């Protein structure tokens, strides 16, 4: 067991550690390695995943449950996954148990259906999260949270304050979840969770980033937003820092130079934070030896790098070829999906610009709360409309619409009660779904390219789409009109209307999560159109010894994808030029 760890954050960590950051920066690897390092010291550690698309099970080789599970080979370490679906079902059962014994099965069914949407899922998952902070299990010295990508995590961390404020102003104990939710009874717990989050003696937020401009910019924005929420104890962890060993390898030198330039230009607020760095490793962080090696002074596999021979370059269809295939349909919805950090925004923006170059008008939008699509395009192009589904704006529009439709027949007191309910944090989820539905419908006569949120958040949106579909089907049953109903889910299931592009990196964890995402989509009746491997060093032709060791793993993942995961496979090579701006993105899909 290697205990030679040098990270400063391991010296005096508080009870709660939150790891957050842009998708793909290595939050799960770093949080798990830190949890393992603390457990190796003899401490009792609970590692909690709040990401609905968590890969901790693959990384640690243990099944994830909504209760602590001991990790074999790591004495003192347990892992827990806040599963939103299981949390929502437990929440529904608690609500149903509170109903009177004489309530009919039909009435029970109505209540269950009212609690089947994304709103219930969010509040149920949040309730589990709040309990860990307000009523922490006494048998753990540290609780470490491996969170979802930034946008979703900021939403989660803002909920204690949002729900506490909502409940403080709501004396009726009701909300959009209905009078049976019992939220008012949980007000004290939410306030205790908020107190723990904002106590610097108890909680530190670790902003995980890469030495990349976009990741550092997001870390800077996140730092500011966390301070607004009262989370002032923060630390920066720069993961995957690369130093070229082969000074004749132009790809390696460019990769090193980009990292150094990004760190030199990082936001000023980040420069003031205590900082740790983790070098880029030659191996995937799967399994206890690799996780121990991630933070170690002499990681696993380091001594064998010089003996690795470079594999052959990757031969696969280009992103331009994919754009040609998509353009042939003339219109439709193109959704780019995948794990955070695999380059969904780059691929979506490049495809949108490529379609415009091929003579089509295109609407490029995003469901990601972090909204990277606007700075990625960074310019104007005739025929291209770029925007984002802004949760705050959509919520304002939705509230105004409901007040106009349902409030016009109410008296002043009734309007006040309706508006009070609409101030619930859950309203945002409903508003975003309605905006998503509008965009899906728009693709009937034009091209819409959608950059989606990271996998877990997108699957929750898909759940809302499925719940709405089931509700519509029930409402139209018996009216002889079900055949004329066309729900957003039905449009997503129609390959003539929607083409799903799964983006990934040629690494074990992103490919595994992409495969799991594809399975979830297929269970919903949606078959992805193609896979895209982004930032392929294999396709770029790197020769540096450390990169070469990684290329062997990349080649293995390409073979895995070609062995049956993807019907169509396209590749975008790593480039020394950052994929930002209309001209650069246009070059990615040139015919």
- The catalytic residue among 28, 52, 147, 285 is 28
22 labelled catalytic: no
29 labelled catalytic: yes
d(CA 389, CA 359): 25
- The catalytic residue among 21, 22, 51, 276 is 51
- The catalytic residue among 26, 117, 338, 466 is 26
184 labelled catalytic: no
Helix (H, G, I), strand (E, B) or coil at 366: strand
117 labelled catalytic: no
346 labelled catalytic: no
Consecutive H or E run containing 222: helix 213-228
Consecutive H or E run containing 411: none
223 labelled catalytic: no
Backbone CA torsion sign across 540, 541, 544, 547: positive
Distance between first and last Cα of the chain = 53
Q: How many CA atoms lie within 13 A of 143 on its CB side?
A: 24
Angle at 241 between CA 237 and CA 246, to 5 degrees: 170
* Residue 271 neighbours by CB under 8 Å, 6+ apart: none
* 502, β-bridge pairs: 337, 531
Q: Measuring CA to CA, how many Å separate 141 from each of 41, 131, 202, 503?
A: 12, 16, 11, 38
- The catalytic residue among 21, 24, 117, 240 is 24
- The catalytic residue among 22, 27, 161, 344 is 27
d(CA 10, CA 7): 6
d(CA 62, CA 58): 7
d(CA 402, CA 221): 32
Backbone CA torsion sign across 86, 92, 97, 98: positive
Structure tokens at 541: 């032709």
d(CA 486, CA 562): 35
478 labelled catalytic: no
Place of tokens 């400063």: 8
Consecutive H or E run containing 48: strand 45-49
Answer yes or no: are the C-beta atoms of 569 and 316 closer than 8 Å: yes
Q: What are phi and psi of 485, to 5 degrees?
A: -85, 135
* 18, β-bridge pairs: 145, 205
**Active-site residue set:** 24, 26-29, 51, 509
């Amino acid at each position: 067991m290697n205990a030679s760890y040098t990270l400063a954050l391991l010296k005096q960590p508080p009870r709660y550690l939150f790891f957050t950051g842009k998708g793909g920066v290595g939050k799960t690897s770093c949080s798990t390695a830190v949890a393992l390092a603390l457990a190796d010291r003899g401490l009792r550690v609970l590692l909690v995943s709040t990401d609905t698309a968590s890969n901790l099970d693959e990384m640690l080789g243990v099944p994830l449950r909504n209760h602590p599970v001991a990790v074999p080979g790591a004495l003192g370490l347990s892992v827990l996954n806040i599963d939103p679906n299981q949390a929502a079902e437990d929440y529904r059962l608690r609500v149903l148990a509170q109903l009177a014994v004489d309530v009919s099965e039909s009435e029970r069914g109505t209540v269950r259906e009212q609690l089947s949407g994304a709103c219930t899922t969010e509040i149920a998952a949040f309730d589990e999260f709040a309990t860990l902070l307000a009523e922490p299990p006494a048998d753990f010295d540290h609780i470490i949270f491996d969170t979802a990508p930034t946008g979703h995590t900021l939403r989660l961390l803002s909920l204690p304050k949002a729900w506490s404020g909502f409940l403080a102003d709501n004396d009726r104990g009701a909300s959009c979840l209905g009078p049976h939710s019992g939220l008012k009874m949980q007000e004290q717990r939410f306030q205790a969770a908020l107190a723990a989050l904002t106590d610097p003696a108890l909680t530190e937020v670790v902003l995980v980033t890469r030495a990349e401009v976009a990741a550092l910019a997001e870390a800077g924005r996140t730092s500011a937003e966390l301070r607004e929420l009262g989370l002032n104890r923060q630390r920066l962890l720069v993961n995957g820092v690369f130093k070229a060993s082969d000074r004749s390898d132009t790809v390696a030198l460019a990769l090193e130079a980009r990292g150094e330039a990004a760190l030199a230009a990082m936001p000023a607020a980040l420069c003031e934070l205590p900082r740790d760095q983790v070098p880029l490793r030659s191996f995937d962080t799967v399994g206890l030896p690799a996780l121990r090696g991630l933070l170690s002074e002499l990681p696993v596999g380091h001594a064998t790098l010089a003996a690795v021979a470079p594999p052959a370059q990757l031969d696969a269809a280009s992103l331009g070829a994919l754009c040609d295939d998509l353009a042939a349909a003339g219109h439709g919805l193109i959704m780019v999906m995948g794990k955070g950090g695999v380059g969904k925004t780059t691929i979506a923006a490049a495809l949108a610009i490529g379609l415009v170059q091929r003579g089509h008008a295109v609407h490029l939008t995003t469901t990601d709360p972090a909204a990277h699509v606007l700075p990625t395009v960074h310019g104007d192009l005739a025929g291209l409309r770029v925007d984002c589904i802004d949760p705050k704006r959509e919520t304002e529009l939705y509230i105004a619409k409901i007040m106009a439709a349902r409030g016009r027949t109410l008296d002043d007191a009734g309007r006040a009660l309706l508006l009070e309910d609409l101030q619930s944090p859950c309203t945002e989820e409903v508003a975003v779904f309605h905006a998503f539905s509008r965009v899906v419908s728009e693709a009937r006569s034009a091209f819409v390219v959608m950059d989606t949120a990271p996998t877990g958040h997108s699957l929750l949106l898909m759940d809302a789409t499925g719940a709405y579909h089931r509700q519509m089907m029930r409402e139209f049953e018996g009216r002889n009109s079900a055949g004329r109903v066309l729900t957003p889910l039905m449009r997503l299931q129609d390959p003539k209307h929607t083409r799903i592009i799964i983006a990934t990196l040629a690494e074990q964890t992103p490919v595994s999560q992409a495969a799991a995402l594809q399975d979830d989509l297929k269970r919903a009746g949606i078959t992805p159109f193609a896979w895209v491997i982004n930032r392929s060093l294999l396709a770029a032709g790197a020769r540096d010894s450390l990169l070469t060791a990684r290329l062997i793993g990349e080649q293995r993942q390409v073979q895995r994808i070609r062995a049956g995961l993807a019907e169509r496979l396209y590749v975008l090579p790593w480039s020394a030029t950052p994929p930002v701006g209309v001209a650069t993105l246009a070059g990615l899909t040139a015919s």
